[in-house]
């Protein structure tokens, strides 16, 4: 048997054989992977409806609304992204203590450079 981390408790493995790890699929999926899986699912559903396979013909008004749907979703995602960035920028917290510490470091560096003969 193989446990997480690749450490086996069973018989010794042969040199050169791969070490297996027990990792759940949910733990291995990154946020990018989740987004790509969701986009693939939505894209395949859209393509299945837009290509109109035999036996599945959408009425005209639904088809006209379905075809530009990816563009509408892309514009909506862009608006959401801009709104999120704007909100986060507007609510960004100032760190007065860190700013004061940075000013002290800058002054110390300037004093050190002046002591070494560099004029600022």
- pLDDT for 30-50, tens place per residue? 889 998 999 999 999 888 888
Comparing 83 with 16, the larger pLDDT belongs to 83
Contacts of 29 (CB under 8 A, 6+ apart): 37
Identify the three-state secondary structure at position 8.
Answer: strand
Confidence of residue 54 (pLDDT cuts 50, 70, 90): confident
Max distance between CA atoms of the chain, in angstroms, equals: 85
What is d(CA 96, CA 120) in angstroms, rounded to the nearest whole number?
Answer: 26
Beta bridge partners of 8: 2
Comparing 75 with 93, the larger pLDDT belongs to 75
pLDDT at 49: 84
Contacts of 48 (CB under 8 A, 6+ apart): 56
Confidence of residue 23 (pLDDT cuts 50, 70, 90): low
């Amino acid at each position: 048997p193989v446990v997480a981390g690749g450490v086996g408790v069973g018989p010794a493995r042969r040199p050169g054989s791969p070490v297996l790890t027990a990792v759940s699929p949910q733990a291995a999926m990154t946020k990018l992977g989740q987004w790509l899986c969701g986009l693939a699912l939505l894209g395949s559903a859209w393509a299945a409806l837009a290509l109109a396979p035999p036996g599945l013909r959408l009425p005209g008004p639904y088809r006209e609304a379905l075809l530009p749907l990816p563009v509408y979703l892309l514009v909506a995602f862009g608006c959401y992204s801009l709104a999120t960035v704007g909100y986060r920028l507007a609510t960004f917290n100032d760190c007065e203590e860190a700013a004061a510490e940075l000013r002290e470091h800058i002054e110390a560096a300037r004093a050190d450079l002046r002591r070494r003969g560099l004029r600022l």
